[in-house]
Amino acid sequence: MLIAANWKMFKGPREAAAFLDEFAPPEGVDVVVCPPYASLQAAVGRGLPIYAQNVHWEAEGAFTGEVSAPMLLELGVEGSIVGHSERRQYFGENDETVARRTAAALEAGLHVIACVGELEEERERGETEAVLRRQVSVLEAHERLVVAYEPVWAIGTGKTATPELAQEAHALIKSLLAVPVLYGGSVKPENAVELLAQPDVDGALVGGASLEPVSLEAICRAAASLS
């Protein structure tokens, strides 16, 4: 089971290093940490695989503000999140750019966590299956690809999909693409066990609850208890 900690735009280099020096995950669970770009170098080499939060599809070029896969690999970064709902919502990410970023990162040798998920209004209109089919259709199965299901209405809102809803979405995604699928909607120590116990949930992409070592350790223990 995989637990991925997405720190979003939190923790500069000093905080990142201090967290990783304190954090002690249990055995029996795989953990990756995804700090902001400025903290990647400080985080690498402290005992856990480090992923970026985004990666461009070109190796180099006139793309101000972007970072390429070769640059990440040179730092010792092992993977990247791609297509997070916040990138789609605030920065114009779409299925085409997610596909390009994912393919380039995999070709370069990175691991990828590609995010998919429906908006609240899409769920209310009964469009969840259509949205997931469209988003997953641009991805191809790969040994270094993991998909994260993020119901967008549960990102940073405190809302969480019921275990049954999460299982339904994960089963659909797995029927379309033979890769592990993480759940990524407000996972906390309090709900981790029942979410991770679902048969098609292969781990979690954890946001706010990953910012404190004690909280992330509790989620990791929940995952380890189910492995």
Across 54-170, the runs of DSSP E, i.e. the strands, are 79-82, 111-116, 145-149
For the stretch 88-144, pLDDT in tens is 999 999 999 999 999 999 999 999 999 999 998 998 899 999 999 999 999 999 999
Per-residue pLDDT of the chain (227 residues; tens, 9 = 90+): 999 999 999 999 999 999 999 999 999 999 999 999 999 999 999 999 999 999 999 999 999 999 999 999 999 999 999 999 999 999 999 999 999 999 999 999 999 999 999 998 998 899 999 999 999 999 999 999 999 999 888 776 667 788 999 999 999 999 999 999 999 988 999 999 999 999 999 999 999 999 999 999 999 999 999 97
Per DSSP, 91 falls in state H
The residue from 78, 86, 93, 150 that is catalytic is 150
Kindly name the residue from 56, 84, 111, 170 that is annotated as catalytic.
Answer: 84
- Three-state SS for 34? strand
Q: Are 110 and 116 in contact (CB under 8 A)?
A: no
CATH of the domain at 220: 3.20.20.70
Residue 133: other Cβ atoms inside 10 A: 14
What is the end-to-end Cα distance of the chain in Å, rounded?
A: 7
Q: Please, what is the angle between helix 128-137 and helix 163-176, to 10°?
A: 40
Asked if residue 89 lies in contact with residue 181, where contact means CB atoms within 8 angstroms, the answer is no
33: phi then psi, degrees, rounded to nearest 5 = -120, 135
What does the alpha-carbon distance between residue 161 and residue 157 come to, in Å, rounded to a whole number?
11
**Count of structural domains, the chain:** 1
**Does residue 84 carry a catalytic annotation?**
yes
How far is residue 108's CA from residue 111's CA, in Å, rounded to a whole number? 9
Q: Residue 203 phi/psi, 5° resolution?
A: 150, -165
Give the orientation angle of helix 128-137 with respect to helix 95-108, to 10 degrees: 40
Q: How many Cα atoms within 13 Å fall on the side-chain side of residue 139?
A: 33
Q: Which tokens belong to 122?
A: 């899409």
Q: What is the pLDDT of residues 120-131, one digit of tens each?
A: 899 889 999 999
Residue type, position 100, single letter? R
DSSP label of 150 = -
29 touches 220 (CB < 8 A): yes
For residue 134, what are the domain limits?
A: 2-226
Query: For position 13, what pLDDT does the model report?
Result: 98
- Quick check: is 170 catalytic? no
Classify 204 as helix, strand or coil.
strand
How much is the pTM? 0.96
pLDDT on residue 158: 66
